[in-house]
Amino acid sequence: QVQPVESGGGLVQPGGSLRLSCAASGSALNAVTMAWYRQPPGKQRELVARVKFGGSLDYADSVKGRFTISRDNTKNTVYLQMNSLKPEDTALYSCMIVSDTGEYYWGQGTQVTVSS
């Protein structure tokens, strides 16, 4: 069973930085798409950033220029570098992986709180 596990969340002041990681177990996993989603308090989950196997990238407009997604295919790991954090970035961040067989895997999430 593939299980993505996120880490790196926490409390940070506005303007600060955090780096999230998501590692997926399963040696047979070939991740086609790896993505980060977030769910702010009282709101729906939204796509933050996505990277496909070929390297194409997508970002939500609200994080462009501040967040960077990257992946290490040898480790089935996806990262999210978050800079210039704002209070509105506060959310539960979850990673999502799509395998080459079309299966979707979600992590449990890691909380990011931006507050002074």
Average pLDDT of the segment spanning 1-7: 88
Nearest to 87 by CA among 116, 44, 46: 116
**What percent of the chain shows pLDDT beyond 70?**
97
Q: Which residue has the tokens 């290490």?
A: 72
Average pLDDT of the segment spanning 30-44: 93
Would the pLDDT of 28 be above 80?
no
Encoding tokens for residue 24? 């997926």
Q: How far is CA 7 from the centre of its chain?
A: 10
The pLDDT confidence band at residue 27, using thresholds 50, 70 and 90, is low
The pLDDT confidence band at residue 88, using thresholds 50, 70 and 90, is very high
Instruction: List pLDDT tens digits, range 48-76.
Output: 999 998 889 999 999 999 999 999 888 88
The pLDDT confidence band at residue 2, using thresholds 50, 70 and 90, is confident
Rg (CA), the chain: 14
